[in-house]
Amino acid sequence: MAQTAVLSEGRRQPGREETGAALSLASRMPRLVLEARRVAASLAHGLHGRRRAGPGETFWQFRPFVAGEAAARVDWRRSGRDDRLYVREREWESPHAIWLWMDRSASMAFRSSLAETAKVERAFVLGLALADVLVEGGERVGLIGHASPTASRRIAERCAETLAADRQRLDEDLPPPQPLARQDEAVLIGDFLAPLAEIAASVEGLSARGARGHLVLIVDPVEETFPFDGQAVLHDLEAGLVLRIGDAASWGRAYRERIAAHRDAVRDLARRRGWTVTVHHTDRPASEAALRVLTLVASARQGGG
């Protein structure tokens, strides 16, 4: 059968169902936070060291006063509770920060029968789990376009609450412009199916001052393999277009080649900026991608690039 493809405008409100699914994330946040906690608990600790005392603004702990220390360090209110002197220690804070961004656009709501979860849910579980482990290791974590870096022990809940309350940027499939400090790092989690020029502009904007980063490409197995034949109808979840195909098997070969070329181009632009790329399929455990990103962050911290 000869290959035929017809493109037409399918809906005046593109991705209405998928956008609705993104909006309903607020109701799913508690479950996603719990799943993120489970993933975080399963990861090997020690990649970033542990929390420790040092210069900072966040209270860490009280410890007994040691002879020879300056008397100004004594916390007299705490010491007044018993017969010992105590020093108030503040938590060490890294001079740099790690910034997270999770794609919530309509295309991220896609889930095939081969996947364990929708792409957007996997992105959130990964992002929240990474935030939890990074803060536990002494890093400060912020949300690009939303919240400044913090070392809060409730980082997963704080990120979830912030994103659930924001309904203004659901149609953005790339992070907003925000040049990061030279010592900062970015972790961007999404499907990155936007035009290559837009992805390049976003990465270059974030890294304009020398910041490094990591792209995590969330892929549904069907998006990569396109296991269809015969007639098929494809919907663009964000542009509202419909593509009717007469020979899906033949069309699929060209599709897979284009997807591979797009991914190679994303890897190339990331490499030019000193960034990394991790491809994560939604039929695989979230812990795999989380562990890889944590390893890459640790390597960057140690100067390994």
Question: How much is the mean pLDDT over the chain?
Answer: 82
Higher-pLDDT residue of 44, 118: 118
Tens-digit pLDDT profile for residues 132-174: 999 988 889 999 999 999 988 899 999 999 998 887 767 788 9
> Hey, what long-range contacts does 59-64 have (CB within 8 A, 24 or more apart)?
59/88, 59/89, 59/90, 59/91, 60/89, 60/90, 60/91, 60/92, 61/89, 62/86, 62/87, 62/88, 62/89, 63/87, 63/89
Contact 106, 263 (CB under 8 A): no
- What integer pLDDT is reported at residue 174 of this predicted model? 94
Give me the number of domains the chain comprises: 2
3 state DSSP class of 27? helix
Rounded distance, CA 225 to CA 216, Å?
19
Residues 40 and 74 in one domain: no
Q: Is residue 138 located within the same domain as residue 24? A: yes
Same domain, 197 and 74: no
Would you state the pLDDT for residue 8?
A: 42
**Are 227 and 205 in a shared domain?**
yes
Domain hosting 79: range is 59-90
Q: What is the pLDDT of residues 177-227, one digit of tens each?
A: 888 998 899 999 999 999 999 999 999 999 999 999 999 999 999 998 888
